[in-house]
Amino acid sequence: MAITNKATIIQWNDEKCFGFAVANGVKYIVHLNSLRNLTRSPRIGDTIVVYSFGKSEKGPRIVSGVLESSMPGMSAEDIVRKLGKPYSVKPRKSSFSGFVLAVCVLLALAWGAWTLAGKLGFVPPKIGIHAQSSENVSQYTSRDEVARYICDNGYLPPNYVNKESGVRLYESKTGKSFVRWNFNPLSTLGVMIGGDSYGNREGHLPPGDYREADVDYFGPNRGTKRLVYSSGCNIYYTGDHYKSFVKMKF
């Protein structure tokens, strides 16, 4: 079987047992049970050797694949030859894989019960400003749509990663050492950068716990346009890299 592609994990949620991976600029959802021969939990920056892609109600997804790290010292071609074609034989699950899947089932049931209880008024659902994203594969890039998403949900859209994750993703995807942000993360990696703390050292904004997020990528790098936000729809826009700010109104 010819290798379909490789994908790089850009987000992973151990509690919900799914994440997102990028291949050729397209963002795919990937679930734990789509990964064969697991020896550990997936991590941001891991490479998936993909057997097949597909589609779901949530968007593009990886149907079957294996983490390169679970087969150390082997090329992608060797991995395919060793494991065979997908679904040609029933893959033997390691004890770790079975344990992780069992934990995921329990966590999923607990999450469902918690969410239902919140909707019924028994337990107030907790929505934090740094909460994990849902299975939404839409790309949010512009000032207004990103600000609205933050205001409505209390956290950044799912196509955002922080600087540390962006650096790991860049090095994994390009094979180069990160030097500086002299590239456009959206066109190069398929993600936007955001979620890191903003110190407000110059005191342009009222005191608070702020985070920052890039918006409106149009040039060869990250540009100068940012949102700076805190809880309660408290969001400011700067188009000149923190020299001046305008408060967003909703």
Residue of 15, 164, 171, 241 marked catalytic: 241
Do 5-96 and 143-247 agree at the fold level? Answer: no
DSSP 83-145: H-STTTSPPPPPHHHHHHHHHHHHHHHHHHHHHHHHHHTSSPPP--TTPPP-S------SHHH
> What's the whole-number mean pLDDT along residues 78-90?
47
Q: Is 21:28 a contact under the CB 8 Å cutoff?
A: yes
Q: CATH code for 5-96?
A: 2.40.50.140
Average of pLDDT values for 126-149?
63
pLDDT 10s digits, 197-237: 999 999 999 999 999 999 999 889 999 999 999 999 999 99
Q: Supply the mean pLDDT for the chain.
A: 78
- Per-residue pLDDT, 107: 66
Quickly tell me which residue has 């000149």 as its tokens.
240
Report whether pLDDT(108) > 70: no
pLDDT at position 97 is: 54
What integer is the mean pLDDT of 104-116? 62
Residue 64 has pLDDT above 70, yes or no: yes
The predicted pLDDT at position 75 comes to: 60
As beta bridge partners, residue 214 has: 226
Is residue 241 among the annotated active site residues?
yes
Q: Sorting pLDDT into bands at 50, 70 and 90, what band is 124?
A: very low
pLDDT value of position 138: 59
Model confidence, pTM: 0.51
pLDDT at 127 over 60: no
Instruction: For 143-247, give the CATH class.
Output: alpha beta
**Which one of 17-31, 41-55, 87-101, 174-188 scores highest in mean pLDDT?**
174-188
Q: Is the pLDDT of residue 137 over 80?
A: no
Q: Is 135 assigned a catalytic role?
A: no
In the chain, domain spans: 5-96, 143-247
Dist. CA 132–CA 22, nearest whole Å: 18
Per-state percent for the chain, helix, strand, coil, to nearest 5 = 25, 25, 45
Q: What is the mean pLDDT of residues 159-163?
A: 90
